[in-house]
Structure 1
Amino acid sequence: MVTHRGASIRLARSRERVAVATAISGSPSRRLTLYQQAAATCPGLSWTVLAAIGKVETDHGRSPLPGVTSGTNGSGAMGPMQFIASTWAVYNPPGTKPGATPNVYDPADAIPAAARMLCAEGARDSRNLRGAIFAYNHADWYVNQVLAQAAKYAAPSTAAGGAPPNEAVAKAIAFARTTLGTPYVWGGDGPAEGGYDCSGLTRAAYAAAGITLERVAQDQYYSTPRLPPGTPIQPGDLVFFGTASNIHHVGLAVDATRMIEAPRPGVPVRLGPIRYPGNDFFGVTRPTAAR
């Protein structure tokens, strides 16, 4: 049975898809579909990252510069995803037609190749997303630009009904997305320490939105507005794991089922389901709620 809420969510997602597709390409939703299908071949890789690379490199193939639709640019790069010949030779996928040679200028071939490269370089399971993007173009400014663009594409889909509930949440989630792939460092508050731990990440994300949180997960839970059990999780909520006297983990919800977290030693910042080893989910708070 289809509920009214379910129908409303699907309608909102349909509108969102049209809006994002229009922003990505003048043609209907083909380019968006290619990004989404290619990302699905690499667990942990968001289509928004592929789309952001397509945007930064060639404006989704719309750039009039040399090397986009034919030939090469001054660096030898080709096609909408800007491969050099040696990299294309490694990562090009099977052609779109049986027996056909993969075409670097065809987005149906180039976008899956980009996904294969990112996956091989660290994007799988969000192990090292920043490193994967850096391998694509060896510049820190490029990594930051791609992640910022990916956050813009992700913003409309962070809530089932459309945009994040408020600007502070949008900023916190956008910041958290830029940290995907950053190493886990116990006690880490960011680049100065070489990475984040769970509460260091959530604290930094909300600091980017102008909201100050306590430093450790236990204190964050008891100092932010707590939600009654069963309250639907919204983007921007903090989700906690442990017990009343030992809250040991916190993540930042991006929607009702997923969170960005700094999990544990050896596992970098990632986007994944709202769960943690031990299944000891404890509760939810909403830092932007009225106190």
Structure 2
Amino acid sequence: MVAALVIGSLLFMRPAAQSQAVLPAAEPQPPSSTAASTGPSVLEVSAPVPAQAPQQQPQQQGKSALESWAAGLSGPLDIPERTLIGYANGELTLRKEQPNCHLSWVTLAGIGKASSDHGRYGGDLLKSDGTLNKPLGAVPLQGAAGEAATEQRGGPLQLTQQQLKRGGGGNIQDVDDAATATGRVLCSGGTNLQAGQSWWKAIANYRASDLFRQQVLGNAQLYATLSQNPAAGKAPAARAVRFALDQIGLPYVWGGNGPDSGSAGFDCSGLTKAAYDAAGISLQRTADSQFRSVLPVPPTGLPKMGDLVFYGNPATRIHHVGLYLGNGLMINAPTEGMAVQIATYHVTGDDYAGAGHPAN
């Protein structure tokens, strides 16, 4: 399964002209009846979009501006307030130490979510046998063989002792120390984290796991988007995206509706339906029926977080669907032999057919 995820997530390393598009499997018809078609298979270089910046100011009415900032975002982002302050302090410290690195707290928060669900899960999410533990409140991720953690980690960011030393030391359990040390590891060597390729290399330098890197990117992107519009954190679209992000790494299973339905994984429309089921919105089961039953996004418009993005021929048949994350990215179950993963939603030569709103 790791090999499958790696194949999908590393296609962005190839020049576009040399990439071979994967054929998303049709559903519910047997795969043998699938007509030849192109579909999304590339994850192009990307870093999370800019987020609402924390500001450290003198205390006002018993709370500092940073504490007030964290109090306003903690609920919508589902990050403990004190932990969120730690991520922000990491950014504020690195702003002074290495301003050209452009470290954002959302990258630290993405690492914290992928490592330990922001400290809610006491151990590393990756077990010694290479499978993934289950964070509290999340669907278990499977198929991460060979990506086991080999050193003891602690705290929300799950630093190794070696990484903590590289980052200047401190208390591995203290979120402020850990965030600063993590920032120093990410920013080492003059890294500019606003550049997509540099961001990807920095996360790999922190932990060499493509599964981990996708989880960090997806959650960091979600936090950046919600920081600009906290009220959207409780909307069905955000709840569906959270669900889908928790499925990254599960296998593609034709006709699969996920572990809660007794399947090891999902097919494309099984994932989108389960995501919106978790958000309290019922969708049709197949990609084609979803396309024809949701409110279409105007052809001149762009999809928004939580929109469904479709592939195929609207006049005949839609064969694939994904869930739009933002920043040109989607979460999808691509095809046989590949894991649920993040991909660029629209690339040259694909058969993108448009987007739709499952809920207002």
What TM-score, normalized to structure 2?
Answer: 0.50
Aligned counterparts of 2:299 and 2:83: Cα–Cα separation in 1 = 39
Report the alpha carbon displacement of residue 271 of structure 1 after superposing the two structures with TM.
2.7
Aligned counterparts of 2:153 and 2:226: Cα–Cα separation in 1 = 36
Please name the residue that 1:167 is paired with.
235
Give the counterpart letter for 1:198 in structure 2.
C
Give the counterpart letter for 1:171 in structure 2.
R
Please state if 1:287 is matched with 2:322: no
Please name the residue that 1:92 is paired with.
163
Alpha-carbon deviations, 1:174-231, whole Å to 9, x = none? 2112212111112111011210111000000111122211111111100111122112
8 Å contact from structure 2 (residues 106, 221) kept in 1: no
Please name the residue that 2:296 is paired with.
226
Q: Secondary structure at the match of 1:279?
A: coil
Please state if 1:241 is matched with 2:311: yes
Structure 1 residues not aligned, in runs of 5+ = 1-8, 59-75, 134-149
Aligned counterparts of 1:79 and 1:233: Cα–Cα separation in 2 = 38
After superposing the two structures, state which structure 1 stretch, 115-124 or 226-235, moved more: 115-124
Give the counterpart letter for 1:194 in structure 2.
A
8 Å contact from structure 2 (residues 114, 212) kept in 1: no
Aligned counterparts of 2:152 and 2:327: Cα–Cα separation in 1 = 40
Please state if 1:13 is matched with 2:47: no
Alpha-carbon deviations, 1:99-151, whole Å to 9, x = none? xxx666342446759x669844552553xx6xxx9xxxxxxxxxxxxxxxx97
CA 1:249–1:88 in 2, change beyond 3 Å: closer, same or farther?
A: same
Match of 1:24 among 64, 83, 92: 83
CA 1:167–1:24 in 2, change beyond 3 Å: closer, same or farther?
A: same
8 Å contact from structure 2 (residues 268, 321) kept in 1: yes
After superposing the two structures, state which structure 1 stretch, 216-225 or 161-170, moved more: 161-170
Please state if 1:157 is matched with 2:232: no
Output aligned runs, 1:54-65, within 5 Å: 54-56=118-120
8 Å contact from structure 1 (residues 13, 162) kept in 2: no
8 Å contact from structure 2 (residues 251, 340) kept in 1: yes
8 Å contact from structure 1 (residues 81, 110) kept in 2: no
8 Å contact from structure 1 (residues 242, 281) kept in 2: yes
8 Å contact from structure 2 (residues 297, 303) kept in 1: no
Identity %: 28
Aligned counterparts of 1:288 and 1:121: Cα–Cα separation in 2 = 34
8 Å contact from structure 1 (residues 185, 196) kept in 2: yes
Aligned counterparts of 1:282 and 1:288: Cα–Cα separation in 2 = 19
Q: Secondary structure at the match of 1:184?
A: coil
Aligned counterparts of 2:235 and 2:331: Cα–Cα separation in 1 = 18
8 Å contact from structure 1 (residues 187, 196) kept in 2: yes
CA 1:214–1:276 in 2, change beyond 3 Å: closer, same or farther?
A: farther
Q: How large is the RMSD of aligned CA atoms in angstroms?
A: 4.4
Please name the residue that 2:155 is paired with.
80
Q: Secondary structure at the match of 2:252?
A: coil
Please name the residue that 1:269 is paired with.
340
8 Å contact from structure 2 (residues 119, 157) kept in 1: no
CA 1:213–1:240 in 2, change beyond 3 Å: closer, same or farther?
A: same
Aligned counterparts of 1:15 and 1:78: Cα–Cα separation in 2 = 27
Report the alpha carbon displacement of residue 248 of structure 1 after superposing the two structures with TM.
1.6
Report the alpha carbon displacement of residue 32 of structure 1 after superposing the two structures with TM.
5.3
Give the paired residue count.
Answer: 230
Structure 2 residues not aligned, in runs of 5+ = 1-48, 56-65, 75-80, 95-102, 123-150, 187-202
Aligned counterparts of 1:183 and 1:118: Cα–Cα separation in 2 = 25
8 Å contact from structure 1 (residues 225, 285) kept in 2: yes
8 Å contact from structure 2 (residues 332, 342) kept in 1: yes
Aligned counterparts of 2:207 and 2:328: Cα–Cα separation in 1 = 23
Please state if 1:183 is matched with 2:251: yes
Report the alpha carbon displacement of residue 53 of structure 1 after superposing the two structures with TM.
4.1
Please state if 1:123 is matched with 2:187: no
8 Å contact from structure 1 (residues 214, 223) kept in 2: yes
Structure showing greater relative contact order (alpha-carbon pairs closer than 8 Å, 6 or more residues apart): 2
Report the alpha carbon displacement of residue 284 of structure 1 after superposing the two structures with TM.
0.9
